[in-house]
C-alpha cells in the first residue's frame, strides 16, 4: 500500500499526540524522543510529528510544515519513481540506506516550485540498531531528513 506522508513541526509533542490520536482514532505507530509517527489506514496517511522549540515553530500554519512524502512498499518502487521524476526533468536527490526517523530507508527527494520538499521513500528496517532521529526542520537542501 502506498500512502501520502505529512511531516509536521510541533512545539508540544505530547499534546499533539493526544490530538492526532483522537482525530484519526489510532495510536502512534512509533514513539521516540521528540518524534512520533502514525500509520493511518483510512485515509491512507503516514503522519509524522517532529518536536521543535516553540520559538522556531511559531503558531498556526506558520512553521507547521516540515516536509511531504509518499511512502511506497519496496525499493524498486522508489527507484522507478526516481527515474520517472528525472525523465520529467525534475532535479532528484537519492538517499540509499539512510537512517532517519528511527528507520533505515531508501528515498528520493524533489522540491516543488515554491521549495516545499517531497520525498518518495520505503522503510527497509523500522527499528535498526543505528537509528537516527528526525531533524527538527527541513532546510533548503534535500539531504536533511524526515
| pLDDT per residue rounded down to tens, the chain (146 residues) | 899 999 999 999 999 999 999 999 999 999 999 999 999 998 899 999 999 998 888 788 878 999 999 999 999 999 999 999 999 999 999 999 998 888 999 999 999 877 889 999 999 999 888 777 765 444 433 344 44
pTM for the structure as a whole: 0.77
CATH architecture of structural domain 1-123: Roll (3.10)
Q: CB neighbours of 52 closer than 8 A, spacing ≥ 6?
A: 9, 10, 11, 63, 136, 137
Alpha-helical (H) ranges within the chain are 13-24, 54-57, 75-87
Domains in the chain: boundaries: 1-123
Amino acid at each position: 500500500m502506498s500512502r501520502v506522508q505529512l511531516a509536521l513541526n510541533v512545539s508540544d509533542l505530547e499534546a499533539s499526540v493526544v490530538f492526532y490520536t483522537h482525530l484519526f482514532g489510532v495510536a502512534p505507530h512509533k514513539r521516540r524522543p521528540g518524534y512520533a509517527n502514525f500509520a493511518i489506514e483510512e485515509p491512507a496517511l503516514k503522519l509524522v510529528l517532529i518536536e521543535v522549540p516553540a520559538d522556531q515553530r511559531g503558531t498556526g500554519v506558520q512553521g507547521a510544515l516540515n516536509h511531504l512524502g509518499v511512502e511506497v512498499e519496496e525499493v524498486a518502487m522508489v527507484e522507478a519513481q526516481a527515474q520517472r521524476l528525472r525523465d520529467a526533468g525534475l532535479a532528484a536527490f537519492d538517499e540509499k540506506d539512510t537512517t532517519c526517523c528511527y528507520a533505515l530507508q531508501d528515498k528520493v527527494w524533489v522540491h516543488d516550485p515554491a521549495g516545499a520538499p517531497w520525498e518518495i521513500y520505503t522503510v527497509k528496517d523500522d527499528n535498526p540498531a543505528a537509528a537516527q532521529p528526525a531533524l527538527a526542520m527541513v532546510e533548503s537542501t534535500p539531504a536533511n531528513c524526515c
